[in-house]
Structure 1
Amino acid sequence: MAYYTIAPLLHKDIFGKELGPANVKPGHMTLEVNISGKDLLGKAHYLHTRIELIITQQQKQSKSSGNFLTLSAATAKYGADAARVAMGDAGDGIEDANFEESVANSSILKLFELKKWCEETIFEAHLVSSAEEYAKVRDSNKVKNTDSIQRTGSFGFFDKIFENELNGLVQQAKTHYGATNYKLALKAGLYDLTSARDSYRSSTAAADVGMCAELVSRYIEYQALMLAPIAPHWADYVWTEVLKKPSTIQNATFPNVPDTNPELNAQTAYVRGTSSNITSAEGAQQKKMAKGKTVSFDPTKDKKLVIFAQAEYPKWQARYVDLVRDAFDGLTVDVKTITTKAADKSA
């Protein structure tokens, strides 16, 4: 039964605040309906609903076109966690959500590979005390997964960058969860978090120092906590079976992390920007070689990079820096607010 056929009997106004002629209150009703339109917002408090996925593959659901998908069918096809990730990625607000089957399929693989990585780095961890020992163990070929070779001791440059990124992404995810912006929470709490981990892995491997054991464990803990609202089964497995926590993750709270360090944010942006420029330049040279053009670049030889750095600004720039510094002298700038707004705009 369509809701609008009985709506005039239930309430006189469109918001359901004034009781209708049927004198039926919300507590008197237990109806099961399919909701597929924004026109029912504000009236659903009368109903116990079974919500269907309203759009699949950018198309309105239709039994005739075969793209009609219920929650139970999605769960049976993709599993609860992967289906929830796809629904979280479908979008927030009052616009029609789009359930992408490709997202659900890729989520199955992503969650499996992430679980496997967490298991290997924890269960097969090979701790070393220095970068030199890391390189020695790695080159011995006795360890199957080099991610399992992890350093102990103080943090290095890439460790500090990764720790700073973890703190920032956790803060972003918590903010988005609080605002019920689940698509953005999923972006910060899964996609960006794993991207930060991948960058940390590649950077420490290239620098021959390996990852820090403390940060690996912290990342896995944060990853489970940030994903718990959307993929609770995956998160609880990692929490109890991999990290060996004493109770379910449902009893845990989001971590309290310090504010990000603006200096480290700037360093991260510079390092990654420079790395991207180098990769682009190398790719451009390889394209020229593929076209038969003569270039000085030889991909078979060891690569060497020369970076020119200037100790101080040119005089004409220094003059304007001093002017700005004098103008802001005595003023207080809230860096946290500025960086938070910038992060929200970029998202």
Structure 2
Amino acid sequence: MSSYMDFITEQLYALTAIPSPTGFTKKAADYLLAELTSLGYTPELSNKGNVSVTLGGSGSPLVLAAHVDTLGAMVRSIKENGRLRPTTLGGHQWSTADGENCTIHTRDGRVYTGVVLNTEPSAHVADQKVEALEENMEILLDENVSSKEDVLALGIQTGDIIAMDPRTVITKSGYIKSRFLDDKLSAAILLGLARAIRDENWKLNRKVSLLFTVYEEVGHGGCFIPSDTEEMLSVDMGCVGADLGCTERMVSICAKDSGGPYNYDLVTTLSNIAREQKLDYAIDIYPHYGSDVEASLRAGYDIRHGLIGPGVYASHNYERSHVNGVRCTFELLKTYITK
């Protein structure tokens, strides 16, 4: 596993370095297509931008899904003072981005840097603290602009993408810190799985495919899947927080989220494997969560469905996980598709 852990962390650094807020995912999809092709597979790109690939095997078709779209923002308008008013892409929490560096991507391919701040961020100026709500946030460009006309001259316009800096770090103690571990960490795990299958010629116990979606953060990433799919497992982040058993060092198996219960037999099978393999795991309930596999169910697919992932603390914030949670997720998936 150590060699694949190195590969997974390399993929995480590469994926988080690619800005891919929902709706702006072409470069992330192109990266996945290139990586999967270099591993000897034949990936496909859907009309909406999802990337899929069959890894091999025969029998009951299983899809393992992760998403590479992230939270972010879009230019809603340009203020008269040359600052940008943003609008949210996905379930963004502005309080977590106040003071964050960002990049602005124009439709003609130019990239500018900036910083996210509330309308009065200075403690030495403000009479009272400004609450970090969307209507109070703005983007200050790192350019000499002081008017709307100055900004328009740069080629920036309404609808341009605003991407937050990921700040990806892996500590000596194994902690993984970054924005967008949801869900680029699990996307990296699936790439590691694809490499291991190629390198070690795993004997798969069914037909196994990967699906990388690009609209999960707005709810319709997994609404179209291969027609022969019988079972689908979202490999996303596991929640860590109050009233939950999972930590960053575990693999989380979700029994129920905001969309209702996951397939009872599948949750049972996954938890039995985790226990038998002596993996650190928890079965948890996520009250404020939705996944790609639920989008598939809402689209009318008759499939068994499940959700697992490495524990991630501070979701939709500057997130934290751990290499042991990654290892446990990888080993659970490996056993599930080979035994």
TM-score class, shorter: under 0.3
Structure 2 length normalisation: TM-score?
0.24
Structure 1 length normalisation: TM-score?
0.24
The structure whose RCO (Cα within 8 Å, separation 6+) is larger is 2
Q: Whose radius of gyration is greater, 1 or 2?
A: 1
The structure carrying a bigger strand percent of its residues is 2
The structure carrying a bigger helix percent of its residues is 1
